[in-house]
Structure 1
Amino acid sequence: MNERSMFAFLVYLSFIVSLASLTPIDSSVSLVASSSAQSESGSLRNTDASTLSHAKIYKIEITSSITNRFSRTSVVSRVRNVANTAQEITFSVVIPDTAFISGFVMEINGKNYTADVKEKDQAAHIYKQAVASGLAAAHVTTRNSNDFTVSVNVEPEAKAVFYLTYEELLKRKNGKYEQIINIYPKQPVEDLNVEVIISESKKITDLKTPPIRSGNEIINDNLELDPRADLEVINETTAIVKFSPNLERQKQIAHLLGTNEKEGFAGQFVVQYDVERDPKGGEVFVQDGYFVHFFAPSDLEPLPKHIVFVLDRSASMQGQKIEQLIDSMLKILDELHENDLFSIITFSSYVTVLNLDNMDSNTLYPSIAKKIDGYCAWSLTDMHYDSLNKYKFPKAYLANKENIDKAKDIVRRVGASGGTDILSALSVGLHLIKLEKGTKHDNIDRQSIIMFLSDGDPTIRITYTEDIATRITKLNAGPEKTPIFTLSFGEDADRKFLQKLAFDNSGFLRHIYEAADASLQLQDFYQQISSPLLTNVAFKYEPSVTSLTKTQFPIHFDGSELVVAGWYGTQDTFKPAVDGHGIHGSTEFEPTVYHVVSHTERLWAYITIKQLLENENAIYDSKIRKKAIDLALKYSFVTPVSSLVVVKPNDTVVFDTDTLQGTLEHITQMPIVRTTPFCSELYPIPTEKPDLLTELPWINDILEDNGIINVSKGKYKLGLNETLAESEDCPKTPFNTPGKCRLLHSCSTVFSQLTSASDLDTHFCVLKNEFAGICCPETD
């Protein structure tokens, strides 16, 4: 095969790097010899193996080297075209959403083609130049997938070898680290080997390989799926785990997992472990001037908490989702600690705060079911947040057996109907937190937490998600900010919005896959936040320490781990400390410092880039973007601001990357659980437009008697009684996105961002040459 024909191929890449803590995609790696991606169910898709008969994968090697929680995984797939004609052969890997690709090489007939990491705009420029010159090129942005996929045309009997490397920091969850390797070659592979090498500076504990998993299921108790891995403990800090299923065992596992035996192994191989904890304040690993500080103190009593469950019961939750929600809540209620307080809110077109002291055996009513001004539900578009003080809400309930039994009785009867009013639901949740802090139940200080679960976008009243996130973050501002943990549920969930909402409110997002084990996923999530140990955690270092990652954390949970990295230079002494507030008051921890041989500098760069880009708006900040790009290029990390590029004389191939969520679950409907209508269905909710001059009182200062406002660009009609269907594109809304020019009263979503006439000037536009407009976000 000559050099030009070798690169006359179609290259296709679909790879997604999710934002920090985004997203709930399982950490995994998958090898395939086909262009098909992960199925929408998140499980492994069955495909007719005959379509792959021309491509024989004769060897797969996956090697993961974990050094002090930082893993570097190498995936090698060796493929031969056994057909008598040239065929397209595909290499595909599903990488963890928290990982950065750091290397890719294709070997075709003994020649290597190595990818470089380039700044994303530069990569796009290279691609355009290649296309303009009539050369082979590919620059594809694909969404809703976290696959890395490359297809190459291979001559008869020729071989292709693909090498991919990615790196990630293993996250401690529920007291253990977990390395998940997803294997799906779509055919039995004669030589299939996985090796995980663990090298820690602390003693390794609880090393095990649980049963093989399929798809997104987090628990599988089928002992027949024991991977029968070889666990070799070299010494107390080093271990090697090997997994090499032969052809017969691959087919057996496929059968047990319910997949096509002709496609061989199709599942997740998992390695779990933990390390011995240092009660003094964690361990600090130093090397060549860089350090990484791991903090997970043991033997601390959990703080009592007030947890508010905010549960979506809108119509889109009907069927299996509402059944799974009910099932998981029944189990979570049993896991509350005896000193905890809890409140339960359900919401759809209106908000319900469950009242355990006034239950009706046939129906559920909101605590505000007494008609006030003719209504028993409300919207923040109709009244201000402070007006919630008018209403009498149920108290928070102590998690004793009597209250838990009452709560279960109500939860069992929750049904799904109506729209989705997210802003009102979360506002009420924060109000309940505020009320409880004011009363200080039993004179005990409790950590407040909101657990928010929604399956879809807001559909009524305020529906612009940027506006909702901004309003809730403002309501939740202050030194005692309540962490909001969001759970996206179902394929229609807006995970980008839910991630931003959590990130801006000291929480994180998890996605609940709508599989058979959805209730177990919810319980697993709750366990992560069920035992807060410390609040206001602060890492302290000498003033000479620089290039620090985040050092302030609002809350630390049992079973998790806080990580800080930075540059301490050449100083002889290094004495870090950690402050936190626990059940017995303020405590200072003094960690132990270890000199190690590790990847400390790369781990520092990895954490720094992750934190630079974890806020979705950071990518548009030129300074933050440049810093992230410089680090990505220096350390060869493929990130949301960098791309892989393959360049050879006369041919250029660009692999582009983008950021979005991963694949979601297929919805399976079940019968609806019916309940008696709520009172808001009997008394409709008002839907009047907001009063512009009340919402934006500063307009009165620039408003003339004839309804004209005087702005820096001239005098224009305010048009309070106008309805203009036509609108023009405009460059920048108050949320820094492109939009459409609309009348002010037609764009209530931006009201929270307009605090003065100067804000209006910044985003001002003109309609029909006479009306004052604002650059308004486009809605779906």
Structure 2
Amino acid sequence: MRLLVIGLLSALIGASLIAPIQNAPMDGDQSLVVSSTEAVPEKENGKEGKPVAKIPSVPQIYEMHIRSDIKNRFSHTTVTSKVRNFADKAQEAVFNIVLPETAYISGFIMEVDGKNYTAYVKEKEEAKREYDQAISSGQSAAHVAVSARDSNRFTVSVNIEPAKKAAFYLSYEQLLNRQDGRYEQVVNIHPGQPVKDLSVEVVIVESRKLINLNAPPLRSGNEIDTSNKELDPRADIEKLNDTAAIVRFTPNLERQKQLAHVFGTKEDDGLAGQFIVQYDVERDPSGGEVLVQDGYFVHFFAPADLKPLPKQVVFILDTSGSMWGQKIQQLKEAMLKILDQLNEQDSFNLVEFNSNTRIWDLNNHSNSEWYPHSNNYWYSETNQRVVNLENGSFPRAYSANADNIKKAKDAVNALQSDGSTDMYKGLEVGLHLIEVERTDKNNKVKRQPIIIFLTDGEPTDYSTEIITTKTSEFNSGPRKAPIFALSFGEGADKTFLQKLSLRNNGFSRHIYEAADASLQLQDFYKQISSPLLSDVTFKYEPTITSLTKTDFPIHFGGSEIVIAGWCGTVTPIPTIDGFGREGHISLKPVVSKSISNVERLWAYLTISQLLEQKEAMEDKKEELKKKALEIALKYEFVTAVSSLVVVKPNETKPVDTEEAKKKPEQLHYHPLTTTITSNKFSAQSAIASGFGGAVAGFPSMPSQSFGLAFESPLPMPGVAISQESDIDALFEARPTMIPIVNTTTKSTLEVLLESLEWLKDVLTDGFVKGPTGTYKLGVNETISDVVVCAKTPLNQEGHCTLLHECPQVHKLLQKADDFFNHMCILKNEFAGVCCPNNP
């Protein structure tokens, strides 16, 4: 197990402290939370009127430090929480963290009474099999009332003896997702009490010049608020040079109480809000930038100076009975604002569905056709006229001019909720409208099709799987229209809508049923309102392998495409092709050396995309899951397929994360087993992460003793740093939890070269030169193909696998000829070895 390196002072959160660490990108990114319910000891009068300290009923947090190190858009965040039991009896301390949906936990350590307990990552099902049988006697954890959107919650507790202390160190990694032309790091803070030593520190070092760096007003964490000057964080923003900065937030006790008052919470509960850091980087106007380090590369692509493509937007809106009341009103409010954001060169259609589907005729509402029946919502009367797609006279897409926008707003105001939820009819009609425009030879302007599909419930016509399959079959071919699905409220099936979007070149979002639902819808539309390129492809040299996704149907302004892979000693200069407003374009990026751990970024992005593909490709679900698990275990990431097994005094626990929006009374803490898994994932094509050492945050060695050590003095707030070497030292100096036994983590290639000394003589730039040709060694590949081979080194039938995946035969391969005698070829390009089926 790798050693889990932990930053003692870490700040920045891709989510929040009170609410998110995994997607949470909460519309941005969210992070962690440490929670407790009692305030610091108060004084009360005892005998003879002398003040006597009131002993709190739970341990108190006396220090909470959060530090995030961001290098090249990839953040490594460490949260440190220290608590003390003031009581004269043992008490339970609770460490509660909320992760963004796109963040992966990469390490966790508890320090109790001077002893360290290090968590380790295992396969999810295996961790469940190890669950303690006494889990059924779990107790409620409802007192930890922490909530946030688009996030998962991690909770672990431990008993602390009287007058003793405990410390929790958690690390997670995340790529900042660029939206609306900026990166946003959100730190959720909710300690549950005023904390004397509370600090958040965000350290940013980029390869390009920082622009638009700021710390906007604090947010509540669950609703979109307008700017409130009273919530100014008064952050200290220190520019180290053009490409580096430190942002600090260190509210004292009085300021924490003031902010709590502004948020409308109890002052004694401390600060409960989100600290945000926003920034962007100066753009290369052409092909973006490629950063290379140790044989891996990452390519950031966000071209500037491109005009948006004209688009055809088909709004498919659920107006079933469950949308009655506030939901339909919020939908109308949002649509009225969204219609104003259409460009003059755009066109649009308005479709509503309930028991039937209606395409609005904006010029004459009474002529609007219902499909498949002419009117009645609830019943299929025998005398109703059936309207098929083929014989229906549907209106064409409307130009987004001022007159049509006004007519569309009148139609939106006329929407009423009633009937059931026949989803497929709505999708089929919407896709038909796209096809009509695409095949019209008289159309002089080719527009980028976009479908926005919103529903608040589950379908009543077909099963979700049938709808997904039928829609994907209908929407096939090279000009597949992207479908962006919005789940509205708690009744919608988010998993189904995510799968529907992924299979149709789009992505899904959840719109929370709250006062700001209209603003959530507007913010979503803003993300996809400016398509810049279609059919974007990245082509690399054949020697560049382990590539993440390289084909993107559409690229939106304000966002970013991220690609990573293995290049060895080859300089990766891809050709980028796409179609813009002026037709075909071809671009090339600039290449430079990276300042971050690109290998971990590659691993993060690969896992994310494999899990995304797993949801979209039913026939390859197990194969993709296996590949994702292998990488997750190798790099010790907690994902949807791997778990964090938490080691505690006298027990070892597997703990699953809960969706952070669940009400506290829905949560249960299982005292005897704690495994943490990320049970949600909502990646976009432009997310990735990787930072730090072998495990970025902390490799683990469960049975080793750990001691606290400092590699070098940590720069303190207010200390100026101007030299490049000082900036490097800023990251290297992070205090770490290190084992007393000195251990280093070797790469796969290093392990192979130590085990097989002859390998260096036949290996050049990752290629093995054999008697029948030259093949890739594939140390960074995972190949699940089953290829039978006749002769293993043990003279028995086996299967062909990559050399590093069959260590049991290494001792039998004393020289290169031994390997060549048992070599087999995988995918016509990789040198494998015939491995025994039963090692």
Q: Does the alignment reach a TM-score above 0.5?
A: yes
Q: Which runs of 5+ in 1 are unaligned?
A: 1-13, 36-49, 667-780
Report the Cα distance in structure 1 between the residues aligned to 2:464 and 2:447, rounded to whole angstroms: 30
CA distance, structure 1, for counterparts of residue 137 and residue 652 of structure 2 = 7
Q: Does 1:146 align with 2:147?
A: no
AA of the residue aligned to 2:86: V
1:305–1:21 distance in 2 versus 1, CA, 3 Å:
farther
2:88 to 76, 84, 88: 84
What is the distance in 2 between the residues matched to 1:111 and 1:340?
A: 64
Shift of 1:24: 6.5
* Deviation, structure 1 residue 313: 1.2
CA distance in 1, matches of 2:465, 2:451: 19
Work out whether residues 309 and 448 of structure 2, in 8 Å CA contact, stay in contact via their aligned partners in 1.
Answer: yes
Does residue 131 of structure 2 align to residue 124 of structure 1?
Answer: no
Closer/same/farther in 2, CA of residues 354 and 284 from structure 1, 3 Å limit: same
Q: Give the 3 Å change call, closer, same or farther, for CA 23–29 of structure 1 in structure 2.
A: closer
Q: What is residue 533 of structure 1 aligned with on the other side?
A: 532
**What is the Cα deviation at residue 654 of structure 1?**
2.5
Q: Distance in 2 between matches of 1:417 and 1:280?
A: 50
Question: 1: CA distance between counterparts of 2:373 and 2:609?
Answer: 48
Residue 415 (structure 1) aligned with residue 419 (structure 2): no
* Alpha-carbon distance between aligned partners in 2 of 1:22 and 1:465, rounded to the nearest angstrom: 26
Q: Distance in 2 between matches of 1:187 and 1:83?
A: 17
User: How big is the shift at 1:655?
Assistant: 2.2
Query: Hey, what's the Cα distance between the residues in 2 that align with 1:187 and 1:597?
Result: 38
Which of 89, 107, 114 is equivalent to 2:111? 107
Matching of residues 257-336 of structure 1 within 5 Å: 257-336=263-342
Aligned to 1:32: 35
Take 2:318 and 2:370, find their aligned partners in 1: how far apart are those partners? Answer: 18
Q: Following TM superposition, by how much is the alpha carbon of 1:509 offset from its aligned partner in structure 2, in angstroms?
A: 0.9
Residue 218 of structure 1: how far off its partner (Å): 3.1
1:135 Cα deviation from its structure 2 partner: 14
SS at 1:123 equivalent: helix
Aligned mate of 2:59, from 51, 55, 66: 55
Q: Is the 8 A contact 1:99 1:168 kept in 2?
A: yes
Q: Is the 8 A contact 1:190 1:246 kept in 2?
A: yes
1:267/1:33 CA distance change after superposition, 3 Å: same
Q: What is residue 824 of structure 2 aligned with on the other side?
A: none
C-alpha distance in structure 1 between counterparts of 2:357 and 2:371, whole Å: 11
Following TM superposition, by how much is the alpha carbon of 1:615 offset from its aligned partner in structure 2, in angstroms? Answer: 3.3
Q: Which amino acid aligns with 1:416?
A: S
**1:635 Cα offset (Å):** 1.0
- Kindly provide the CA deviation profile for residues 472-495 of structure 1, in whole angstroms up to 9, marking residues without a partner as x: 111101100000001111011110
Instruction: Indicate the SS of the match to 1:215.
Output: coil
Residue pairs, 1:763-774, within 5 angstroms: none
CA displacement, residues 172-230 of structure 1 (integer Å, 9 cap, x when unaligned): 00100000111111111111100000010011110011111013223431111111101
2:505 maps to 506
Q: Secondary structure at the match of 2:644?
A: strand
- Does the 8 Å contact 2:437/2:443 carry over to 1? no
Report if aligned partners of 1:72, 1:167 keep a CA contact under 8 Å in 2: yes
1:55-454 alignment runs, 5 A limit: 55-127=59-131, 131=133, 146-359=152-365, 366-368=368-370, 387-439=388-440, 442-454=443-455
Q: CA RMSD in A?
A: 3.2
Q: State the distance in 1 between where 2:56 and 2:343 align.
A: 54
Written as runs of structure 1 = structure 2, the 5 A alignment for 1:360-759 is 366-368=368-370, 387-439=388-440, 442-458=443-459, 460-462=460-462, 464-571=463-570, 573-617=571-615, 621-647=621-647, 651-657=650-656, 662-663=660-661
Shift of 1:366: 3.5
The residue type paired with residue 439 of structure 1 is: D
3-state SS, counterpart of residue 536 of structure 2: strand
Q: Distance in 2 between matches of 1:500 and 1:387?
A: 27
Structure 2 distance, partners of 1:581, 1:596, is 30
1:22 to partner: Cα distance: 10
Partners of 2:663 and 2:423 in 1: CA distance: 22
Q: CA deviation at 1:29?
A: 2.0
Q: Is the 8 A contact 1:329 1:411 kept in 2?
A: yes
Q: Deviations over 1:367-426 (max 9, x none)?
A: 249986x979999xxx9x994111111111101111111111121121212111111111
Equivalent position of 2:720 in the other structure: none
Q: Could you tell me whether the CA contact under 8 Å between 1:495 and 1:661 is conserved in 2?
A: no
Distance 1:622 1:426, change over 3 A: closer
Measure, in 2, the Cα distance between the counterparts of 1:507 and 1:646.
Answer: 37
Give the whole-Å Cα distance in 1 for the aligned partners of 2:408 and 2:582: 31
CA deviation after TM superposition for structure 1 residue 161, in Å: 0.5
Q: Which runs of 5+ in 2 are unaligned?
A: 1-17, 39-53, 142-146, 665-839
211-220 vs 281-290, greater mean Cα deviation = 211-220
Q: Distance in 1 between matches of 2:432 and 2:379?
A: 14
Distance verdict in 2 for CA 1:235–1:24, change over 3 Å: closer
What is the alpha-carbon distance in structure 2 between the residues aligned to residue 542 and residue 569 of structure 1? 12
Report the CA distance between 1:246 and its aligned residue: 1.0
Paired with 1:647 and 1:664, the residues of 2 have a C-alpha distance of 26
1:135 to 1:324, Cα distance in 2 relative to 1, 3 A:
closer
Kindly indicate whether the alpha-carbon contact (under 8 Å) linking 2:356 and 2:372 is maintained by their aligned counterparts in 1.
Answer: no
Contact 1:137 1:651 (8 Å CA) reproduced: no
User: Relative to 1, partners in 2 of residues 1:86 and 1:452: Cα closer, same or farther, differing over 3 Å?
Assistant: same
SS for the counterpart of 1:255 is helix
Partners in 1 of 2:485 and 2:432 — Cα distance?
A: 18
Counterpart Cα distance in 1 of 2:113 and 2:387: 71
The aligned amino acid for 2:36 is A
Hey, what's the Cα distance between the residues in 2 that align with 1:252 and 1:332? 37
Deviation at 1:582, TM superposition (A): 0.5
**1:495-543 per-position Cα deviation (integer Å, ceiling 9, x unaligned):** 0001001111111111112222221111111111001000000011000
Once the two structures are TM-superposed, the CA of residue 121 in structure 1 deviates from its matched residue by: 2.8
Question: Residue 34 of structure 2 aligns to which amino acid in structure 1?
Answer: L
Q: Which amino acid aligns with 2:498?
A: Q
Q: Which of 623-632 and 385-394 deviates more?
A: 385-394
Secondary structure at 1:612's aligned position in 2?
helix
Output one character per residue of 1:233-275: Cα deviation in whole Å (capped at 9) or x when no partner. Answer: 0001001000011111111111111122210100011111000
- Count residues with an aligned counterpart: 620
Q: Which residue of 2 aligns with 1:744?
A: none
Distance 2:391 2:549 in 1: 40
CA distance in structure 2 between the aligned counterparts of 1:427 and 1:118, rounded to whole angstroms: 43
CA gap of 1:441–1:557, structure 2 versus 1, over 3 A, is farther
| Distance change (3 Å), C-alpha of 1:516 and 1:179 | same
C-alpha distance in 1, partners of 2:425/2:55? 52
Between 469-478 and 431-440, the greater mean CA deviation after superposition: 431-440
- Partner Cα distance (1:376, 1:241) in 2: 56
8 Å CA contact retained: 1:513, 1:664:
no
Separation (CA, whole Å) in 2 of partners of 1:62 and 1:17: 13
- Contact in 2 for aligned 1:198/1:239 (Cα 8 Å): yes
Shift of 1:21: 10
| Identity among equivalent pairs (%) | 54
How far, CA to CA, are the matches of 2:498 and 2:25 in structure 1?
Answer: 6
Taking a change above 3 Å as real, the CA distance of residues 52 and 532 of structure 1, as seen in their structure-2 partners, is farther
1:472–1:370 distance in 2 versus 1, CA, 3 Å: closer
Corresponding residue for residue 833 of structure 2: none
- Determine helix, strand or coil for the equivalent of 1:607: helix
